[in-house]
Chain A
Amino acid sequence: MMRSLQTRLGLLATGLLVNASVWASGSIDGPVEKQGVNLHAIAMFIVFVALTLGITYWAAQRTRSAKDFYAAGGGISGFQNGLAIAGDYMSAASFLGISALVFDKGYDGLIYSIGFLVGWPLITFLVAERLRNLGKFTFADVASYRLAQTPLRTFAATGTLFTVALYLIAQMVGAGKLIQLLFGLNYTLAVVLVGVLMVIYVTFGGMLATTWVQIIKAVLLLSGATFMALMVLSHVGFSVESMFATAVEVKHAAAQALSAKAGAASEAAAKALATHAADASEVAAKAKTLTADAAKAAKANVMAPGGLVSNPIDAISLGLALMFGTAGLPHILMRFFTVKDAKEARKSVFVATGFIGYFYILTFIIGFGAIMLVSTNPAFKDAAGKLVGGSNMAAVHLAHAVGGEYFFGFISAVAFATILAVVSGLTLSGASAVSHDLYANVIARGRTNEAQEIRVSKYATVGLGIVAILLGILFEKQNIAFMVGLAFSIAASANFPVLFLSMFWRGLTTRGAVIGGAIGLISAVVLIILGPPVWEATLGNPAKSAPFPYSNPAIFSMTLAFFFTWLFSVTDKSPRAESEQAAFLPQFIRSMTGIGAEGASKH
């Protein structure tokens, strides 16, 4: 069947070659060509959907109160929540994108994935248990604990909706591209399907259904990836050294073939120039690119850091965005309210860190496995010698190579199902920002009841679903590689500083939090637009013309956010500021001891 998958391009990973697009593997983007219809994958995906709809029905019977809806009644165990967090965090883009990055560039893929992991320990040490002790449903509960509700919740909901929208668009576009590659179906169908399913999971099943969709997806993805990594290792007799050696040889042979081709092209060009052939300049240009490619391939080393991290400022900035952005992602923070106490919250991050770290090790092995088993197999290549469907298909082709037709279908279905789990968490988080923060606490100012709040959040879910579908369709042809980066940068520069300072700094006032947080949000957005990822890659301006030279603004936008939050807090001498600072002690005691913290529901 693979041989019948005829395609000419699909260089999904082109973005990765451009230094500006460090973020590219955070999303599935670039042009793709629809593949042949993959019946195994579609069948297995239908089984997944049937199972998750069954769970949604079951969850709907158990979702009555607001606490059930937003936080699964607080009755999820630490281990289950850990798996669900991992399921929320391991996106299709990180499975396909990171293994593609390893497939193309080797070691750089590992560097990239490590960035996504190191935020988790910090969440454990500084955020998780305090969040659980202070909050109820959203991180705004914590940020606004002792501050003025209206401005703080409006700000936090804005930060949440920005992060959620950007992340959702990236996932929707990814879903559309993936369905063409994996199932051979239509882009719009995928976007609508994903939108409708996520709305069903969330409106009917709330957090309980979302949690179980994430758990099932995590288990499927982890077991599929484990099987692939084991097959790869068994291929090399479980010797990592020989796996690396084979991969280096393969890359070396490819570089040599390329250089031979470049040599031949140069000769042809010289001949064409000498005979003043009509197409001489064209032939010469082709020879020039081939020579450059060959030189690049000869220099590339899959076993050492390449060009991913070359500019120290960008590297540090990317690191900050990943580390602290993770600690400011509203859909991740929300998961800590689903467990019964601080102890379970801690356990869940430990479990999540373990699974996520393990998963990144697997993607590294899978990437190398694809170099050995996929790039050497003509069945997975098109006429031009490129991978069918582009580099993002490396892991999927590997599934075919090591597990045959059925396993290939399984991995395709899992990769697509993965998107559903991620978007459900995002939607629930966005809907709770609208209903719990904006509606219940800002618009109705607490004068509403639970039933009404849940109703609003269901409307919000449907609204978000429609917006997500429309944006998904609108952004089909756009270069959206920057979106996940922007989501992380906003989370790190707006959500995180305010949340962090509200828990740790007595001096924080409403004025400081709102102004500082807004400056963080605006500067992150503006600097991303003025930087290479949007200015050059998306808006199409020439290379090196971006007014802001760095791809990752976090180092600047986070500094601005912290500085102005501090400045506008210490200069705030209003009576309100005084009482807010005085309220720090009771808040601190509750965050340390859990006295007064939300318990699990009784039923």
Chain B
Amino acid sequence: MDEALIQRIQNNPKFAELVHKKGRLSWCLSVVMLVIYYGFILTIAFSPETLGKPLSAGGVTTVGIPVGLFVIVSAFVLTGIYVRRANTEFDQLTKELVEESRQ
């Protein structure tokens, strides 16, 4: 990459937009995942009985089962949200940025 190309990319407002949008989405989703997982782990460490309560009176399935499933599904869904936006919106923005800067 030559100096001029770097300059052009850096000065293109689309680069700032890409950095801002992609950065915000990846950090937001990372925080959401960390909060979900550590919320789960800390609940187990400090209050295991919360997850051991039956879902309904007299039932066997405990609160922990849907909660555990939720953590698994959320990992998949959060990944999906990121990949979807990155592969459409961000990639489009990147393409425009690269084309404009190469001229």
Contact = CB atoms under 8 A, between A and B. Distances in A.
A245 B62 CA distance: 11
Of residues A122, A342, A596, which shows the largest number of chain B Cβ atoms within 10 Å of its Cβ? A122
Given A312-B42, A586-B6, A595-B5, A304 B51 contact: yes
Nearest to A594: B94
B33 A309 contact: no
Contacts of B45: 309-312, 315-316
Contacts, number: 154
A202 B34 CA distance: 37
Nearest to B95: A593
Interface of B: 1, 5-6, 9-10, 15, 18-19, 22, 25-27, 29-30, 33, 37-38, 40-42, 44-46, 48-49, 51-52, 59-62, 64-65, 68-69, 71-73, 75-76, 78-80, 82-83, 86-87, 91, 94, 97-98
Given A353-B76, A595-B1, A303 B61 contact: yes
A117 interface: yes
B5 A124 contact: no
Tell me if A's interface is mostly helix, strand, loop or mixed. Answer: helix
Contacts of B19: 592
A319 B91 CA distance: 32
Contacts of A272: none
Given A117-B72, A240-B61, A319 B38 contact: yes
B71 A114 contact: yes
A244 B10 contact: no
Contact of B87 (A121, A347, A585, A590): A347
Tell me if B's interface is mostly helix, strand, loop or mixed. Answer: helix
Nearest to A249: B60
A125 B75 contact: no
Instruction: Give the interface residue-count category, chain A.
Output: 35 or more
Contacts of A125: 25-27, 29-30, 33, 82
Nearest to A109: B68
B98 A593 contact: yes
Nearest to B59: A241
Which 5 pairs between the two chains have the least Cβ-Cβ distance?
A304-B52, A125-B26, A312-B45, A305-B48, A245-B60
Interface string A333-360: 0000000001100110110011001001
A346 B86 contact: yes
B72 to A, nearest CB: 5
Nearest to B19: A592
A118 B30 CA distance: 10
